[in-house]
Structure formats: C-alpha cells, structure tokens
Amino acid sequence: MTSSDKTSHTTESSLLPVDGEDVHVCQDGPRDAPALLLLHGSASSARSWDALVPLLAGSHRVIRIDLLGHGRSAKPDGDHYALPAQARRVAAVMDLLGVRRAVVAGHSSGGVAATALAELRPDLVTALVLINTGPGLDAFIASEQAAINPETWPPADEEIRRFASTGFSRPGYQVPDELLDEVRAMTYHSLTATMAATSAYLARRALPERLAELGKPLLVLFGADDRRWRSSSAGRYRVVPGARVELLPGLGHSPILEDPPRTAASLLTFTARHAARAD
C-alpha cells in the first residue's frame, strides 16, 4: 500500500502477471463503488491522473493501469505493443480484479486503447470518455519539436521538455518532474513501438467509425487549444449516436494535468448518468 503525500486517500498499488509480464495497477476509492478505469497516453503512466484521482475516488472505484511499456509495467523488447494486445492485457487485469463492468476514460492515445478494449470486450465497457484523443491520423498536427536521439538515451530533462512541449497549452504550465521521470523510465524501443502501434491502429480505421458500431455512451472532451490534434476534429465523433462533445477553452492537449477540476466536473456529470450500470 502506498499513500499520497498530498491527499488523505490511500492508493493500493500492485503488480499483476499478465501473459508472462508484470502489469502495474493502482486502485483508489471504495471497492464496492462503480468502477472507473483510467488509461494514460503515450510516454506517460498512471501518474498522469494523480491530480484527478482525489476528485473521482469519493464516488468511484478508480482503477489505473500502466500499459505495457510504460510506468512500472514491464518493457519487453519485440512486438508486444499492438493495440489489440494492450486491450487484451487490460481486460485480463479487470478480470483478475473481479471487475465486471466499468466506465473507461482514456487520455490521448489512452482513448485509442479504450476503444480497442470496447471492441475486444464490450461486456466490460459501460461507457467511454475520450480526452483529447484524435479521431484519425488526418487530424494530427505535424510538429517540428525535437525528436529524442536513441544514442543519448535516457534523455536529459530539457530534451524531454522539448519533446513534450506540444502536449500542453495553458500559459505558464510546467511539466511535472515526475512525468519527466516516466519518459526516462521507458526504453527507447517501448517509447517508439507504442507510438507506432497507435498510429497503425488509427490508420486501419478512424475511431468515430469504430465507436459508431459499438453503441456505447460516449463523452469527448477536447482542450480547444490542443497543439497535437486539431480541436475542430472533435466534431467528427458526433457520428456516434448520442455522443456528447465538449471543447474546453484555454486548455491544450492535457486537460487532466492543466485543469483537473474542470476535467473532473465534466467526467463526473457523465459518469453520474452511466456508472450506475457499472458493477
């Protein structure tokens, strides 16, 4: 058990064996509350949700998973990072935890993983929340940000800050040091392979078309000043019957870090409608 220094709640942290590899899982909140699964984005980890968790754990069993290649989960070499394989591991973790259904929220490429999970195991997913998840590769904003050099791995702080700069838009926002540590904790292979896997999944079929067939309630939150994905592309998710799309003025690609209270308010309004069926 580990306890947060900033909040009074206690986080349960564990490593679960899935397909011969350790997967790191964090849990907060009452175990009998409706389940809310949070999936992080590329080059990040479960820690990216830290500021949001205290706002959610009072009414939910909050589950965070370090996807393979990230955080405290294993980072094997080879071809382990395709999105269907990541979704299969997430489903296995939920089965091991005894969670039958959950609202699933994903930030950035975590929303792609959430979609893959809903495709693979629709029985597990009550509803979906995608936060700054680009609908397709054509919505991506090309950047001249400095690439990370594999010959100097692990990268220095300033190299990571340049690499991550387009992930934030709120004036004066500083990337937390602990998130720099999460990038350094990855291998160069896991960093590049996980990002390539997301691109490959989106290239095969755009998310709105995938989600329109699933019939799951959907909330799309999008920082209006996103510098990685065109915020106007969020409207494409309206092809999903009943989808709710919210633009967040003044925020960029990472609302969960740039303004946790505003992000949590929208998320909780949505889960209040749909979490009652998650047991």
| Chain segment 100-118, per-residue pLDDT in tens | 999 999 999 999 999 999 9
pLDDT in tens, 172-188: 788 888 888 899 999 99
pLDDT at position 90 over 80: yes
Q: What is the pTM of this model?
A: 0.94
Residue 207 is predicted with a pLDDT of: 98
Buried b (16+ CB within 10 A) or exposed e, 84-119: ebbbbbbbbbbeebebebbbbbbbbbbbbbbbbbbb
How many whole angstroms from its chain centre is CA 120? 17
Give mean pLDDT, residues 8-28.
Answer: 92
Residues 6+ apart with CB under 8 A from 139: 229, 230, 233, 236
Cis peptide bond upstream of 249, omega within 30: no
Q: Is the dihedral of CA 181, 183, 187, 190 positive or negative?
A: positive
pLDDT in tens, 234-259: 999 999 999 999 999 999 999 999 99
